[in-house]
Amino acid sequence: MRELSLIEKRIINKISGGIEISRRPYQTVADAAGTSENAVLETLDTLVKEKKIRRVCAILRQRELGYGANAMCVFDVAPENIDAAGEFAASFEQVSHCYKRPRCDKWPFNLYAMIHGRSKDDCAAAASRIALFSGAASYKMLYSVKELKKENMIYFGEADKN
């Protein structure tokens, strides 16, 4: 397993602190890391392919955007329908993430979707459509009651000192 280069560490450090919203956010990262925008994009692609990082994604503070309700919805879907149901659920703009999980004793649910809405009714409407499409035997909605503090992990702070 190869070691990360100083430039790779600088890029990871810059993106782990958050990327500013701009027309060319990766150029800002490149400027801070001392490389080109194209090199940043190629480096991130390589790091994902090498499984050194999983992904680069946005973390939204949905309540600040007017989304006051969030529910982890769990569905009991027949195995032969799970992939189509997951793709359907993931196609909703209100769904931030969706995945299948093995069933557990006393917990028959195998499809999970995090649904965000301006109200609980918005979340319930999306969950109902997913359940109907998937033929779910049952489903539950587990609403968030408190938003925990969201913080970025900062990696390779020492990369700035070199």
| pLDDT at residue 60, as a whole number | 66
- As a whole number, mean pLDDT of residues 40-61 equals 87
Show the domain range for 91. 62-143
Among residues of the chain, what percentage have pLDDT more than 90? 65
Classify 158 as helix, strand or coil.
helix
Distance CA 12, CA 7 (A): 9
| pLDDT at residue 29, as a whole number | 93
Distance CA 140, CA 157 (A): 42
Indicate the number of domains in the chain.
2
Q: Could you tell me if 36 and 71 lie in one domain?
A: no
pTM of the model as a whole: 0.62
Q: Could you tell me if 130 and 78 lie in one domain?
A: yes
Q: For 61-115, what is each residue's pLDDT tens digit? A: 666 777 778 899 999 999 999 999 999 999 999 998 899 999 999 999 999 999 9
Q: Taking 70 as the threshold, does the pLDDT of residue 147 lie above it?
A: no
Q: Confirm whether 150 is domain-assigned.
A: no
Bridge partners, residue 70, by sequence: 116
CATH number at residue 126: 3.30.70.3460
